[in-house]
Structure 1
Amino acid sequence: MKKCIILANGKPPQKSIITFFQKNGYDTLICADGGANSALKLSLTPDYIIGDLDSISKAALKKFENKSKIIQHKRQTDTDVEKCLKFAINKKFNEALLIGVTGDRLDHTFCNLGIVLKFFAKINLSLIAENSYLKPYAHNVELKSIKGEIVSLYGFDSKTKITSKGLKYPLNNISLPFGKKESTSNVSNSNRVCIKIKNGVIFIIRDFNTMRKHGLFQFD
């Protein structure tokens, strides 16, 4: 199982978050252009730096020019994060964790959430934003949980039907169309949360620190 971390040019994450995933099999670090600046600040060495290279600092470029594989794509028809994902798919990576894809620019954040929807069928994707862990699902899933864990669910259209077991506020074959209905801050009341999904995709967002503390990540 090949796994990679894609570090973008948004708000830098805590280094401990990256090292946690590196210790759990995400052993290739790909920086999306200016994500290399964050890698430099965090004393991390990327395996690859990919993008149009208009955001990487001179200091980062000098630091990594002989240590990382630098791949420049000047095309402007896709974002640097998309370039990294296309590279990962081409290199047969099975999973990619997106970090640094949120921050001060709401348009960039919104774009990157859209990229998750665009690519999740081609590569197993997850995303870290601050202390939140987001993962898309288009199939039935059983989540390892603890009582009291916050579990938020978001759908996108009225066709997608969701049924839950193990949540305080149960969902029974209902849709969560974006902008109309959601299941924010639902609460686990079991050590297993089962979600059945029909005809679409949903985002499930959980707290990273809770998951790490209680061993709730289900790594393959």
Structure 2
Amino acid sequence: MSALIIGSGSNLDKDIFVLENLNIEYVICADGGLEKAEKLELIPNIIIGDLDSVNKLVLKKYLDMNIELIKYPSEKNYTDMELAIEHAIEKGFKNIILIGATGSRLDHTIANVMLIEKYYKKGIHIQVIDNNNLVQIVVNSIEIINKKDYFVSIVPITDSIEVVSLIGFKYPLNKVNVKRGSTLCVSNQIINEKGTIILGKGAGLVFISKD
């Protein structure tokens, strides 16, 4: 089971949310993510943040439903998203899904994506999902189901990764060392029912994306 954290970034289409068939047990709204929860017809377990970007009428609606609220000052050392992740971990969740984590603010988007790496080192698996992308980490190996019109990219987050094998991909690789900053593994495609990425060393972010 997973915790779902809804941030104040881009909206997620309800159809995509349903199709992903996410196994959600606990829902956290990080500030303005509360309005996205309303659009997805989700009732959060808790609202967390400094409340600087939340619609006050929507907030009142959920507070009237006795939804728990943890309010932080606007001047703080962590983003609302990271505070929400910390809360999910305190609740015992090791699988966390972020939506509303990407958007027009590139600084927030990159910071949220990099949380995947930070928390993986603490034993927490995080996925970032929006209308065009699913981002997660790969260490050792990962199997990906083929989705029509989607591309798969691997971006090294260690000094290098050793791609032992890409199985089921249009552009296969075997025993290739890919350095951090390389674009060699960007925009590949799965041509079988599924694709398998096998790494001998290092870690990378896997982007499953469509235009």
Q: TM-score, normalised by structure 1?
A: 0.82
Identity between Structure 1 and Structure 2 (%): 31
Q: Secondary structure at the match of 2:118?
A: helix
Instruction: Decide which of 45, 63, 66 is 1:65's aligned counterpart.
Output: 63
Q: How many Å apart are 1:104 and its aligned residue?
A: 1.0
Q: Deviations over 1:52-88 (max 9, x none)?
A: 2222221122111133211123361111111111111
The match for 1:193 is: 195
Q: Secondary structure at the match of 1:27?
A: strand
Q: Which amino acid aligns with 1:125?
A: I
Mark the runs of 5 or more structure 1 residues left unpaired by the alignment: 209-220
Q: Secondary structure at the match of 2:202?
A: coil
* Alignment CA distance shift 1:207-1:52 (3 Å): same
2:147 is equivalent to residue 152 of structure 1: no
* Alignment CA distance shift 1:142-1:93 (3 Å): same
* Alignment CA distance shift 1:18-1:149 (3 Å): closer
The match for 2:81 is: 81
Distance (whole Å) between structure 1 residues aligned to residue 79 and residue 194 of structure 2: 37
2:206 is equivalent to residue 204 of structure 1: yes
The match for 1:47 is: 45
Distance (whole Å) between structure 1 residues aligned to residue 15 and residue 32 of structure 2: 20
Range with bigger deviation, 143-152 or 131-140: 143-152
The match for 1:128 is: 129
Instruction: Decide which of 179, 182, 207 is 1:180's aligned counterpart.
Output: 182
The match for 2:109 is: 109
Q: How many Å apart are 1:28 and its aligned residue?
A: 2.1
Q: How many Å apart are 1:90 and its aligned residue?
A: 1.0
Higher strand share: 2
* Alignment CA distance shift 1:38-1:4 (3 Å): same
Q: Deviations over 1:187-213 (max 9, x none)?
A: 2232232211233221222248xxxxx
Distance (whole Å) between structure 1 residues aligned to residue 198 and residue 130 of structure 2: 25
The match for 1:218 is: none
Q: How many Å apart are 1:110 and its aligned residue?
A: 1.1
Q: How many Å apart are 1:127 and its aligned residue?
A: 1.1
Distance (whole Å) between structure 1 residues aligned to residue 161 and residue 11 of structure 2: 34
* Alignment CA distance shift 1:69-1:147 (3 Å): closer
Q: Which runs of 4+ in 1 moved over 4 A?
A: 146-149
Work out the number of aligned pairs and report it.
Answer: 207
Distance (whole Å) between structure 2 residues aligned to residue 84 and residue 133 of structure 1: 19
Distance (whole Å) between structure 1 residues aligned to residue 107 and residue 78 of structure 2: 15
The match for 2:163 is: 162
Distance (whole Å) between structure 2 residues aligned to residue 124 and residue 142 of structure 1: 15
Range with bigger deviation, 131-140 or 142-151: 142-151
Distance (whole Å) between structure 2 residues aligned to residue 203 and residue 38 of structure 1: 26
